[in-house]
Amino acid sequence: MVGFMGRGWGLLLAGLWLMACSPAFNWRLVGHEGVPARMLMPCKPERAEREVRLLGADSPSSSLRLMSCESGGHTFAWAALRLPPGLTPPEAAHGWMRASWVSLRQNVSPGDSHPVGWSSTEFTVEGGEWGQRWRGPALDHRQQPLQAQVLLAVSDGWLHQAAVYAPPASADASVIDTFFESLTLR
C-alpha cells in the first residue's frame, strides 16, 4: 500500500504539473469502486456500470465498470471487468478488442487477427500480469474519422481497458502516454 501511495502522490504531482502547463486538462486520480487499481483522468469522468457477457450470450455475466470524459478534443475512457473463470488474459483481450473494433466500425477480415491499419505492442503496467497497447484508425458514431489508442492490462483477475479517441490530426502523444502510464494496478 505504501508503494501505491508513493506512486499515487507522484502521479498526482505529475498531473498537477501537466495541469499547470495545459489548461485543457485537469488531471485527477480516480478509481472504480471495488477494483484494485487507480488512474489519472484529465477531466471529471462520468461513471456507469452494466452487466456484460464476455464469452457470449450463454456465458455468465460480469459487472463492467466504466468511466469516461472529454477534454482537449480527446475522449478518455477506462473500463474494468472481472475476468470469467478459465479465460486467459490474451483470450479475454482478444474478445474485448473484437467488440471494440465493431463499435469503432472496423472490420476484421476472415483469417485476420485485427483490422487493416491496426497494430499492437506489448505494454508493461506496474503490478500487471499482462499488457498490450493497440493503435489504429476508427470511425465515431457519426462516421467521422478517429485515431484510437487502446491499452489492455490484466491484474488480480481484472481486465482493464484504457482508451483515447481523438481526431487523427489532434491526437496528443504526450497526453495519451501520461494517461496510459498512470494506470496503477495494486
**8-40: b (≥16 Cβ within 10 Å) or e:** beebbeebeebeeebeebbbbebbbeebbbbbb
- What's the pLDDT score for residue 159? 93
- What's the pLDDT score for residue 85? 78
**C-alpha cell belonging to residue 57:** 450470450
Domain count for the chain: 1
Cα 12 from Cα 9, distance rounded (Å)? 5
pTM confidence score:
0.83
Q: Mean pLDDT, consecutive 10-residue segments, the chain of 186 residues?
A: 48 46 80 94 95 77 91 94 84 86 92 93 89 94 93 93 90 88 91
* Amino acid found at 149: Q
Alpha carbon 153 to its chain's center: 8
- What's the pLDDT score for residue 39? 96
Q: Which residues contact 44 (CB under 8 A, 6 or more apart)?
A: 26, 28, 69
CATH number at residue 125: 3.40.1000.10
- Report the DSSP beta bridge partners of residue 139: 145
Domain that holds residue 85: 2-185
Cα 70 from Cα 2, distance rounded (Å)? 31
- What's the pLDDT score for residue 23? 62
